[in-house]
DNA sequence: CTGTTGATCTGCT
DNA sequence: GCAGATCAACAGT
């Protein structure tokens, strides 16, 4: 499976968010492979009031201003890490895509052990849950997603435009009118 | 230095 | 459906 090239991330953040649906997120821990198909994303870009990087660069959000194709991880609500991919067209100052949900493919037993639950439905269907299942934390901040390593993204299935649902984003209080949350229709999930 | 807030999850009602 | 957990980053004093 081919790893997505850096040019994939050098486009408008909203476009990349849609294109990430159906791609495969791969996490390697020692020799254990964990992977899953990306089925839900949200786009955040510069000037967007709901985005961490809406105005000034700070210690936490500087990754969103850096090189595209890298991982941006942040900690919130005292309990949860969330995984983003940095992506923007080269005329924009910052932008990122929140990976909200994946469908587990490989290493499901390992994920269940990480999450200490039994219910498959709630294994990786939220940003914080997904990060916990894949053991993602600040150690993954800034990892290059375009190189084979402990965390990267590869080509997946082809997604038709009519299989993508756009809805308002979740858990924010500003700019809720932008339909920048994208869900992949999954007939068998 | 202090107070507030947040791209959430879980458990209980 | 709703409140509580829980803490780092941020902005203001």
pLDDT digits (tens, 9 = 90+) for A162-178: 999 999 999 998 899 99
Confidence of residue A118 (pLDDT cuts 50, 70, 90): confident
Please check whether residue A96 is in contact with residue A44, taking contact to mean a CB–CB distance below 8 angstroms.
yes
- Positions of strand C less than 7 angstroms from a protein CB: 5-11
Higher model confidence: residue A173 or residue A132?
A132
Confidence of residue A56 (pLDDT cuts 50, 70, 90): confident
Give the number of domains in chain A: 1
Distance CA A39 to C1' B13 in A: 32
In a domain, A126, yes or no: yes
Distance CA A99 to C1' C10 in A: 24
CA triplet A142, A148, A150: central angle to 5 degrees?
Answer: 55
In a domain, A170, yes or no: yes
In a domain, A143, yes or no: yes
What's the whole-number average pLDDT of chain A?
A: 94
SS3 content of chain A, % helix, strand, coil (to 5): 20, 30, 45
**CA nearest to nucleotide C9 C1': residue:** A60
Distance CA A185 to C1' B3 in A: 43
In a domain, A55, yes or no: yes
* A186 has a pLDDT exceeding 80: no
- pTM flag (> 0.85): yes
* A187 has a pLDDT exceeding 80: no
Q: What is the extent of the structural domain holding A131? A: 6-184
In a domain, A189, yes or no: no
**CATH assignment of the domain containing A172:** 3.10.300.10
Which nucleotide's C1' atom has the smallest distance to the CA of A80?
A: B8
* A57 has a pLDDT exceeding 90: no
Distance CA A162 to C1' C10 in A: 41
**Residues contacting A141, CB < 8 A, separation 6+:** A63, A71, A72, A73
In a domain, A1, yes or no: no
CA triplet A144, A75, A3: central angle to 5 degrees?
Answer: 20
Confidence of residue A188 (pLDDT cuts 50, 70, 90): low
Asked if residue A133 keeps its beta carbon closer than 7 A to nucleic acid strand B, the reply is no
């Amino acid at each position: 499976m081919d790893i997505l090239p850096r040019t994939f991330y050098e486009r408008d953040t909203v476009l990349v968010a849609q294109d990430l649906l159906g791609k495969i997120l791969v996490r390697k821990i020692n020799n254990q492979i964990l992977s899953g198909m990306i089925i839900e994303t949200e786009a955040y870009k510069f000037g967007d009031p709901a985005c961490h990087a809406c105005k000034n660069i700070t210690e936490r959000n500087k990754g969103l201003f850096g090189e595209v194709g890298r991982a941006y991880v942040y900690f919130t609500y005292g309990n949860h890490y969330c995984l983003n991919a940095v992506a923007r067209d080269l005329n924009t100052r910052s932008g990122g895509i929140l990976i909200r949900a994946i469908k587990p493919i490989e290493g499901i037993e390992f994920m269940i052990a990480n999450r200490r639950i039994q219910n498959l439905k709630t294994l990786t269907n939220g940003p914080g849950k997904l990060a916990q299942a894949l053991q993602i934390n600040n150690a993954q901040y800034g990892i290059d997603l375009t190189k084979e390593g402990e965390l990267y993204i590869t080509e997946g299935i082809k997604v038709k435009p009519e299989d993508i649902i756009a809805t308002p984003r979740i858990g924010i209080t500003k700019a809720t009118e932008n339909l920048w949350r994208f869900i992949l229709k999954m007939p068998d999930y």
